[in-house]
Amino acid sequence: MAARPRRSTHHRALLRHHNHHHHHLLLIPPLLLLLFLIPPLSAILFRRANSLGRRCMSLAAGHTSLAGYRLSFSIVTLSDESSSGRGVRERSFRGMLNATAGNRRAYAALHGYGLAVLPPQAVDPSRPPAWSKVLALRALLHRHHWLFWNDADTLVTNPDIALEMILFSVIGHSDFHTSPDLILTEDANGVNAGLFFIRRSKWSERFLDIWWNHTSFVQFGSTKSGDNTALKHIIDHLSPEEMQAHVRIAKMQCLFNSYPWKATWKSVHRMIFHPSTTWKGVYSDGDFMVHFAGLDDKRGWTSRILKEIGTP
């Protein structure tokens, strides 16, 4: 049996414990302060990600000469406004197409791209409006070499970047005939259907038909419509060979689909546990496009960012 500690030792131990306890208490204010400072500091840091050395685009793409390749591009977007105020998603999208139309029009005009803004009548009323992008792309696919789908809650924030540069950065060459067909980005949830490129080809036609036929994924009455989940499901079930031949996922989400960073429990959690995903996708000055994915007050974000980049 161990001897009991002498009284004085015990007393010293108690004292030490007591002091220790005080040290912990003293740490609380700076820790709390740090906790409150992390979100705003992160926001400042993230907005400077590119000047801190992040590279969204391959170096070659930034320096390549695109003269000689004259492919036909069209940006395609669609209003969500016909089904006014059915869910949170519809509500927050209201007025977004108008708010971002000028920005998209100016960008398309600058580079000579087509711009197809589908009217509310183009929305299939039997599904949430987000699904109608599949129909819209299917209908326009034969008219251009590449279609660039834009959700209404997106803005071009760096119009100097051409779509040809984006594709070159992902594909590594500019030969249309040997290019993959679907160019996507990936966020913390997987591939994102808000901004992506699709190439004119038989494979793409079939892909869009298959996507549209994933009717069991259609969801009503929540913030999700199911089209993105269906896309993820299809991508997850492609064979490695088909994936390799037809689909590319950009290494950096910020190549054409950056999300603004807003301090919420979810985003702080994500920043701590998935720092690399956050870093690759967070919106920084100089990025090509911003996407207000999952954010409320999309109108507010739109006018703030438009003001920042100096557009009326």
Ligand X SMILES: *[C@@H]1O[C@H](CO)[C@@H](O)[C@H](O)[C@H]1NC(C)=O
Q: Which amino acid is at 49?
A: A
Distances (CA, A) of 169 to 61, 155, 163, 204: 5, 20, 10, 21
The rounded Cα 36 to chain-centroid distance in angstroms is 26
Q: Cα(133)–Cα(144) distance, rounded to whole angstroms?
A: 16
Minimum distance of ligand X from residue 95's CB (angstroms)? 4
Site string for ligand X, 107-146 (x = CB under 6 A): ----------------------------------------
Grouping H, G, I as helix, E, B as strand and the rest as coil, residue 290 is strand
> In whole angstroms, what is the distance from residue 187 CA to residue 255 CA?
12
**210 sits near ligand X (criterion: CB under 6 A):** yes
Tell me the residue length of the chain. 312
Asked if 213 is part of the footprint of ligand X (rule: CB under 6 A), the reply reads yes
Count Cβ atoms within 10 A of the Cβ of residue 10 and give its class: 0-12 exposed, 13-18 middle, 19 or more buried.
exposed
> Should residue 98 be labelled a site residue for ligand X when binding is judged by CB under 6 A?
yes
Rank residues 114 and 120 by Cβ distance to ligand X and give the closer one: 120
56 to 85, contacts with ligand X by CB under 6 A? 81
Q: Which is nearer to ligand X, 81 or 151 (CB)?
A: 81
Shortest Å distance, C-beta 260 to ligand X: 23
Among 66, 71, 82, 95, binds ligand X (CB under 6 A): 95
303 in contact with ligand X (CB under 6 A): no
| Residues of the shown chain interacting with ligand X in the complex, contacts defined by CB under 6 A | 81, 95, 98, 206, 209-210, 213
